[in-house]
Amino acid sequence: MMLISTTIFATCLLAAGHAADYPTVYMSAHENQAVSVSRAGYIEWHERFQYQDDTDVTLTLQAGTGNNVRLDFLSLNIEGSPGACVDKLEVYDGEGTPVENSTRTVCGTNVAVAAFTSRTENVVLRLRSDNMVRGDFRILYNVFRLVGPNEMCPRDHFKCTNQRCIHESLLCDGIDNCGDNSEESQAACVDPELTPVNVTMKNTCGRTLPIGHSGYIYRGDSSQDKVHINTTTVSDRRRDCHVTLDAPAGYHVNLHFEFLDIQRNFPFNCADQLHIFNGRHGNVTTAARTVCGIDERDFTSTGSDVTLHISSAFGRRGSFRIMYTLFRPSSGSCYNYEFLCQSDRRCVLSDVTCDGKDNCGDASDETTGAGCTERAGGSGLGVAGIVGICLAGAALLFILGGLMVYFSGAIKGRITACLTTSQTSYDPK
């Protein structure tokens, strides 16, 4: 029990200390050198000591082509005050030998200093001190890439609200890496904890239903329950049924037709019809798709609400089974409780991965990239294969055990017989 408690405690410490895992660049160890930086980290003078008198040292941060650097001055102990610096930390935008006119000059003790954002991929820091007072500093650097409103970030990056792309490993660690804190928002960090919800249209006509991360939509109680929604009277035969599926804000709905039995009289004439609308019932009048016959193409909503409207001209019995999946359009990465589909940059909730269903549309949520082999025990055999191996192993052990008992008995019998014979033939005379 103590071992388990210790393990859990250590795990919690690792989670809490994620931000502390950022690398630190010590300026004293890289005097007048260039250092390649990525993601995020800290800059300090030395691990333990303050900078010396009469220091004049530069450090160049190289973020790579197409990237920029943001510096947040977390703590300062540099002699002087803003506008009257004695010691000074100068910041230059761009690589090369610093000139007299720096982009930013920083000094002071426990003073608030605005963040510095570069326009280029390189930033030069120059520390200059007199011969009087020593000091130190701590700076947080973040490497980002700026994209347009309609542009996507690289695959392993998160798109901030301010159009900056930061590495997805920086999400939800309690540190503002975006500059607008959008990667620490509730939407990015708190799993909505949705559960699967199945919808039966015959029992929910006219309703708006909150839906889970995935589930099935049936006309009857199941795909095999063939129901006609009309009575036998002529006046009632054109009754219809509509249901609105309400997804959480920011999510869209994908409908995948696994089974479809809706009457089609002629190639372009649907006797029974399933109309699909983008939006809530009553807010839209034109169907985005009308389905019947064997039209089983996936439907993807343009917003968080989808309305299904089924009508039957002749009251024919029919059924369907539609799998729905919630997804969030991705700019290149997903929240930490989501999975990024391979082909079309969709984010589905991690709960739907490795469940035997193609929720991505390209089956990438059922691959090793989604961690499915690990969930199956690391062998890729699946539950049935593992159970079979276990049963076979148990049977083999049972047989070996039986053989051991048998041979043990046989050997024991022979030994007993030998001892009996020896005692009978032994003559002490």
Instruction: Tell me what pLDDT residue 227 has.
Output: 44
What is the Cα gyration radius of the chain?
Answer: 35
Q: What does the pLDDT read at residue 128?
A: 95
Instruction: Please identify, among 131, 146, 161, the residue that sits at the C-terminal boundary of a domain.
Output: 146
Spell out, as residue ranges, where the chain has pLDDT lower than 50.
1-17, 20, 223, 225-238, 375-387, 415, 417-429
* Cβ proximity of 170 and 188 under 8 Å: no
**Joined tokens for residue 273:** 């019809």
In the chain, % helix, strand, coil (3-state, to 5) comes to: 20, 35, 45
Residue 315 belongs to a domain: yes
Range of the domain at 117: 19-146
Q: What is the pLDDT of residue 252?
A: 95
* pTM of structure: 0.61
If asked whether residues 142 and 221 sit together in one domain, one would say no
Distance CA 385, CA 356 (A): 15
Identify the H or E element spanning 417: helix 382-425
* Cα 124 to Cα 54: distance, rounded to the nearest angstrom: 19
The verdict on 215 and 136 lying in the same domain is no
CATH code for the domain of 237: 2.60.120.290
Give the Å distances, CA to CA, from 422 to 409, 412, 415, 427, 429. Answer: 20, 15, 11, 10, 15
Nearest-angstrom CA–CA distance, 310 and 228? 10
**Final residue in a domain of this structure, among 329, 349, 374:** 329
Q: How far is CA 6 from CA 14, 19, 382, 394, in A?
A: 12, 22, 32, 34
- Select from 313, 329, 345 the last residue of a domain: 329
Structure tokens at 342: 């391979």
User: How many domains is the chain partitioned into structurally?
Assistant: 2
Distance CA 390, CA 413 (A): 34
Residues 106 and 216 in one domain: no
The per-residue pLDDT for 209 is 93
Q: Give the chain's length.
A: 429
